[in-house]
Structures are given as C-alpha cells and as structure tokens.
Amino acid sequence: MQRLCNPRRTYGMLSLLAVAMLGACGSGGDPSLADGEPIRFTIPAGASFSAVTDTLVARDLVSNALGFRLYARYKKLDRNVKPGVYETAPGQSWEALLEKLVRGDIIRMTVVVPEGWTLAQIVPRLAAVTGASADSLLTALLAEDAGERYGVDGPTLEGYVYPATYTFPLGSGVETMLRSMVDRYRQVWTETRLAAADSIGMSPREVVTLASIVEKEARVWGERDTIAAVYRNRLRIGMPLQADPTVQYARGEHETRLLFQHIDEVADHPYNTYRRTGLPPGPIASPSTGAIDAALHPADVSFLYFVARPNGTHIFTRSLAEHNNAIQLVRRMAREAAAAREAGAATTGAGAGGAAASDQ
C-alpha cells in the first residue's frame, strides 16, 4: 500500500529549507553590523559541525542553528570545515561564513628569521608569538642534546633554524614552528650539496659552521666565496681562523671593534678561534643557502687575510706584511671619511685575522 506523506512534516521541512535558502541568498547576516568590531572564534581539530554551529551561535554570528546546519548540509559543506582560529566581521551571511570555514581562511602569523641571526636573537621572536618563556626556550635550544633531539648535527640547535620568512596558523606552538624551521634547513642538503661536502672532506656540520662564520663576516654577498677561501686556506695550513665573530659569540655580546682584552676574556672558550686552531665546535649563527654554497665552493684564491673598508667591502691579501699595509690604508680611509662627514671618529672593525692579529 502506498505510504502517504505527513503534511505537517512536509511543511516543517519546507519551512526549514526556506530559512536555509536565505543563507544561500546572502541574507543570513545583518548587513548593518558589518562595520562592527571583528569577531574571533576557534574551531578545534576534529570538532563536529554541530559543535561548529554552537560556536558560531555563541559568538552571535548565527541566530538559527538548525537552519544553518540544514543549509550547510544542503550545500554539502558540513564535513569540509577546517580547524583553526578565525576572525570575521559581524553580520556575515551563512554563505560567506561557510566559504571562510571551508577555505580554512584562518588567522596566520608571520615570523622572519634573518640570515646570520643567532638563537639569542631568534628566540624572542618565537616567544613573542607563542607566549613561551624566552629564557627557558633559549636554554633548551642551546643544550648539548638539542641537536640530537631535532635530528641535526648539533651540538646545539644553533645554526639549524633556517633563515627565511615563515607563516604559521595563529596558536601554533613553538615546537611546531621549530620543527618547520629545522625541516627547511634539512631541505638545503640536497644530494648535490652532500656530494660537494664529501668531495672536500667536510661534514655538513663543518660546512654549516664555516658558513655561519662567512655569513657573519660578509657584508657584501659577492665576497662570501672569497672569505670562505681565506678560512679554508687557513684550515689547510693549520693556521688559526682568528675570526672575530667567533669571539663575539663566545662573549655573548657584540663589540664594534674587537680588542685583545676581549679575546683574553674568553681565552679558554672553545669558540675562541684566536686561541684554538680549526673550526669551532658548531655554527655561531644561522647561515643562508648562499653562505653554505660559498663554504662548499670557495673562490680559487690564495689569500690568507682580509680587512674591512669603511664601506663594508674587504681588502684581501696573501701575507702578513700586505695585511698590515692594508690595515694602515683602511685606518687612513676611516680618518678621511670621518673628516669628510665632520661627524667625529669613525669606528671600523678588522675582519678575520684583522688589526688584532697584525698588532701582535
């Protein structure tokens, strides 16, 4: 026997469908509220659409929960909502709300890690966007087991937080951010670069350590391969690197001009390359891909010294006598530049094996 439909039920469903269709026509919200303060809400991962709707109702973004759910089901969008933190103007239509939820148009935050920055410089930025304790985080990342924990060569995480611009969903934890940044570092080590490191007898850790020093020394990017060559030449003959940035790193603070007293303050520090031969135990900052490539492919030159001109470029020389002459030239340049500017004494720092080495 044919089953007759229930008129009341049919009328009710049609009424709900009519309400739902208002959302489809863009009239589910109140346009008069569109200029109000943005409303922020969070959709947890794994939340049911019913829970999503309850959140929107609680934030006064939806007034008819049943109609909204029916409309979403009708549009086949109730199973495609992305989790995250959202922000929207009040008075949005159901259609606009659902499009935002399905696109995953969540609030995102940007974290910039510049080339040559140390963990001490990077960590405050991570702390600022996550609410983590900067001091505790820095201590954890500089621990001797940090490299092992993050799957890099270590000894700490210094040098392995790759310099780049990152975008993360608002609310991301510091661990998520760090893992992503370290993953970007790993991506640098292609088969080609691994083969290049092997061909020059250096491990990735040694390459990144050298690259971090090059990154700190080179103010003009075109000089990175020549600076790398100076250090490689010194390593080859067993000469101390005498790299000012390593002493600055050991001291934990930057001096415009490195003096003998600064070197003596950290005489026994493993990163003091004026007192120890060879590379330091690990990187002193986060090098860029360009600095890593310079360490892998240094210029074919025989220079052993360099000193910085006032404009940031360097004079490269082969002998200590030439280097001493270059230092005198740079000092004269600095005096002339200061006189021309009528701005007092200019300060310039010698490069690796610079004025400090030549005064001995």
- pLDDT at position 167 over 60: yes
Contact indicator for 146, 159 with CB cutoff of 8 Å: no
The answer to whether 208 and 287 are in contact (CB under 8 A) is yes
The pLDDT of residue 358: 37
**Chain segment 263-300, per-residue pLDDT in tens:** 999 999 999 999 999 999 999 999 999 999 999 999 99
- Whole-number mean pLDDT of the chain? 87
pLDDT band at 6 (very low <50, low <70, confident <90, very high): low
pLDDT of residue 181: 97
Walk me through the domains of the chain, giving residue ranges and CATH numbers: 7-103 (3.30.1490.480), 108-188 (no CATH), 202-358 (no CATH)
* 350 pLDDT more than 50: no
Q: What tokens does 85 get?
A: 């933190």
Query: In percent, how much of the chain has pLDDT > 70?
Result: 85
* For residues 15-30, average pLDDT: 49
| CA dist 188 → 208, 264, 270 (Å) | 11, 37, 27
Q: What is the pLDDT of residues 184-228, one digit of tens each?
A: 999 999 999 999 999 999 999 999 999 999 999 999 999 999 999
Return the pLDDT at 244: 94
| b (16+ CB within 10 A) / e for 160-177 | bbbbbebebeeebebeeb
Cα–Cα distance for residue pair 67/310, rounded to 1 Å? 71
Name the band, by pLDDT with cuts 50, 70 and 90, for residue 338: confident
CB 323 within 8 A of CB 353: yes
Q: How many CB atoms lie within 10 A of CB 16?
A: 17
